[in-house]
Structure 1
Amino acid sequence: MRPYLDFAPMLSPGNSCLPLRQRGIVVTRPAQQADNLCRLIEAQGGRAIRFPTLEINPPQNLSPVFALVERLDTYDWAIFISANAVHWGLRWIQSRRELPPRLQRIAIGQATARALDHHGVPAHIVPTSFTSESLLAMPALQTVAGLRIIIFRGEGVATCWATHCDNGEPV
């Protein structure tokens, strides 16, 4: 793994037709998830500047997480906010039980849907625009009264979900 604020070497002048030539691109992904994007930037002549602004770690106390995992049968839908949410959420679920077959899975976007596919549990709903707001605007989510929805996300993510809950939807 490269150290933080690592500057990739500049490419030789012979690569002048590359679209990112002599451009520095700051990559803010978590350190352990930046390699692929940095390689893509460098392949196009850019200089990847690693500057992770986020670190993804499990909560210190997993008891509440495992309590929710045990109650998954009581939920109708599971919304996964990111590929990281899929990774951690399914890791915790599969360490205790199988995912309930009737649980409808919703992915916030294509990368999240691919992560679900990778774990063998494809998404039932994926919006065409990849934001929480566009997901909430989908017709399927306009009639959620009476449904129990569990959201797999990181701390402080997706404040619009709280607004949706304030409108009477049990989440």
Structure 2
Amino acid sequence: MSKTGALLDKKVLVPRGKGQAKSFSQLVERYGGIPVEIPLIAFRPIAGNQRLQVCLEALDTYDWIIFTSNVTVETFFSFCDRDAAKLPKIAVIGKKTAEVLQERGIRPAFVPSAFVAEVFVEEFIPLVGPYAKILLPKGNLAREYIAASLMAVGAKVDEVVIYETYLPEESRLKLAQMLSRDELDILTFTSPSTVDHLMDVVKEYGLEEQLKNCIIGCIGPVTEKKLLEYGLQVHASPEQYTVKDMMESTVAYLENDGRMT
């Protein structure tokens, strides 16, 4: 079967907001699916972030800044207006995060070969001296793995929560309605937080049975682990952690499982 029309008008949950959903939705349409945009996660800066201001005033004392997501970059620079030449060296976890920085005229000094925390740490540690000072801005639900691993080899890491994640109320209501009517065929997840937020709705409205009718795809082993912790079956989890690979993996599952007929 050709990739065009491969999803056969199946309704695919696109868990991103309007600013990020366009390319995802276009990919779903390219495969013949119907994208349903329901943001499972939204972000807002932490108000009155005094700790960040202290760190920004001491920015010259840091050897590295680590950015783990596009949102981290955008939020950080809403607080910081420094010229790129006056910033410490920058490390990022993902390719997309690197691209967002490059749009600002900033070239990361380090990008790992795979876009997960474990690989980042393994490849980044050789670049970090035992007394390196590192600034790690992050969201309120971010893992502590990176900071803990770097501190274990003697680095000084200042973690600063600069934004919080939440599930928009309109998403909660739309998701509950569509799941209750079995109107979503494929659920996709891009982070553990998106899983937690959907499951909050599922538990609140008693929709566990409806999930059994859905095909589930995800990006990354941490997200997959979160789904499995909830007892959900993961049908598509590609080795490359991109939306495109996730959709291709989902199509492959559908074809191999015989659900295309």
User: Quick check: TM above 0.5?
Assistant: yes
Q: Which amino acid in structure 1 is aligned with residue 28 of structure 2?
A: I
Q: Secondary structure at the match of 2:105?
A: coil
CA contact (8 A) 1:29 1:54 kept: yes
CA contact (8 A) 1:30 1:56 kept: no
Question: Are 2:140 and 1:155 equivalent residues in the alignment?
Answer: yes
* Shift in CA distance, 86/102, structure 1 to aligned 2, threshold 3 Å: closer
Structure 1 residue 116: deviation in Å?
Answer: 0.7
Task: Identify the range of structure 1 (153-162 vs 129-138) with the bigger mean alpha-carbon deviation.
Answer: 153-162
- Alignment-derived partner of residue 126 in structure 1: 111
Pairs within 5 Å for 1:99-138: 99=84, 101=86, 103-138=88-123
- Give structure 1 regions of 4+ aligned residues with deviation exceeding 6 angstroms: none
Counting strand residues as a fraction of each chain, which structure ranks higher? 2
Question: What's the TM-score, normalizing by structure 2?
Answer: 0.54
CA distance, structure 1, for counterparts of residue 127 and residue 88 of structure 2: 18
Structure 1 residue 111: deviation in Å?
Answer: 0.3
- Alignment-derived partner of residue 89 in structure 1: 76
Question: Are 2:155 and 1:169 equivalent residues in the alignment?
Answer: yes
CA distance, structure 1, for counterparts of residue 3 and residue 141 of structure 2: 43
CA contact (8 A) 2:17 2:37 kept: no
CA distance, structure 2, for counterparts of residue 162 and residue 32 of structure 1: 30
- Alignment-derived partner of residue 83 in structure 2: 98
Structure 1 residue 91: deviation in Å?
Answer: 2.5
CA distance, structure 2, for counterparts of residue 16 and residue 125 of structure 1: 35
Q: How many residues align?
A: 155
Structure 1 residue 73: deviation in Å?
Answer: 0.5
Superposed CA RMSD: 2.3
Structure 1 residue 86: deviation in Å?
Answer: 1.1
Structure 2 segments unaligned to the other structure (5+ residues): 158-261
Amino-acid identity (%)? 25
Structure 1 residue 18: deviation in Å?
Answer: 1.8
Question: What's the TM-score, normalizing by structure 1?
Answer: 0.79
Question: Are 2:30 and 1:64 equivalent residues in the alignment?
Answer: no
Structure 1 segments unaligned to the other structure (5+ residues): 1-14
Counting helix residues as a fraction of each chain, which structure ranks higher? 2
CA contact (8 A) 1:85 1:154 kept: yes
